[in-house]
């Protein structure tokens, strides 16, 4: 359902006039309180899988701003808009897109990712090592947390209406990158005591755009993708 909903609607990317554009505030990473199941192989006599619980402590300014924008969207653009449903769809899109990028199956993303973004990703992915391409993939049980961070509401020509939502994902990968973890994952430092040497907490930013003009299908397109080294 959501894979269909996220199919690109060939929106104009010529920069519609800006109506609401908040100042970008930093994402606040979630706090790791205790252990949650992470995928590992254990023998029948081996230790039980360690667990990890992720507790969200959102930045109060971002939390309040998000609620204001959801209210604006529901009041002036689409009263049936649901942030929970959007987050579910964003999560599924992230799982699919990250896998296709890792496998360099760019044709599969033509109806989901904006054309200009896809061309740029093809060039960048071609220069990645196998390990870095593996690090792009996020499995469902590897996602620790996701958070909508920046909302934008635009009016374009002929009274067209657009909404952009930037979402950040935190996910755990067992991959040998032989480098420091990305900025913003220090909050997970307590995990180092039970993670193996190759496990990393990685982040990715995906921006989604939808046209809310009356009569236009409710389809989202991804207009920005940012992974570590990508």
Tokens of residue 122, six digits: 């093809």
Question: What integer pLDDT is reported at residue 37 of this predicted model?
Answer: 44
| Cα–Cα distance for residue pair 130/175, rounded to 1 Å | 10
Question: Do the beta carbons of residue 178 and residue 211 sit within 8 Å?
Answer: no
Q: Positive or negative, the Cα torsion across 34, 198, 145, 49?
A: negative
H-type alpha helices, 28-180:
60-72, 83-102, 115-126, 130-136
- How many other C-beta atoms are found inside a 10 Å radius of the C-beta of residue 88? 14
**What tens-digit pLDDT sequence spans the chain (230 residues)?**
444 444 433 333 334 444 444 434 445 556 544 444 444 444 445 555 555 555 555 678 888 999 999 999 999 999 999 999 999 999 999 999 999 999 999 999 998 999 999 999 999 988 888 888 999 999 999 999 899 988 999 888 888 999 999 999 999 888 777 654 544 444 344 344 445 556 778 899 999 999 999 999 989 999 999 997 66
Question: What integer pLDDT is reported at residue 129 of this predicted model?
Answer: 87
- How many other C-beta atoms are found inside a 10 Å radius of the C-beta of residue 152? 17
Model pTM?
0.75
Tokens of residue 158, six digits: 């002929």
The partner residues of 171 in beta bridges, in order of sequence, read 143, 202
């Amino acid at each position: 359902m959501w894979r269909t909903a996220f199919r690109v609607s060939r929106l104009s990317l010529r920069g519609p006039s800006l109506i609401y554009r908040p100042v970008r505030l930093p994402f606040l990473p979630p706090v790791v309180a205790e252990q949650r199941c992470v995928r590992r192989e254990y023998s029948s006599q081996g230790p039980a899988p360690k667990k990890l619980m992720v507790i969200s402590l959102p930045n109060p300014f971002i939390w309040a701003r998000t609620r204001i924008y959801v209210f604006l969207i529901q009041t002036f653009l689409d009263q049936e808009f649901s942030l929970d449903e959007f987050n579910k769809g964003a999560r599924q899109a992230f799982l699919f897109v990250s896998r296709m990028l890792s496998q360099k199956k760019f044709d599969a993303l033509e109806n989901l990712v904006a054309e200009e973004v896809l061309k740029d990703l093809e060039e960048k992915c071609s220069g990645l090592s196998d390990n870095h391409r593996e690090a792009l993939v996020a499995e469902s049980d590897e996602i620790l947390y996701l958070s909508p961070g920046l909302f934008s509401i635009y009016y374009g020509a002929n009274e067209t209406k657009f909404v952009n939502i930037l979402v950040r994902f935190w996910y755990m990968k067992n991959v040998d990158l032989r480098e420091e973890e990305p900025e913003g994952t220090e909050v997970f430092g307590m995990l180092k005591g039970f993670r193996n040497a190759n496990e990393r907490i990685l982040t990715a930013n995906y921006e989604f755009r939808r046209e809310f003009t009356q009569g236009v299908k409710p389809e989202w397109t991804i207009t920005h993708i940012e992974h570590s080294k990508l």
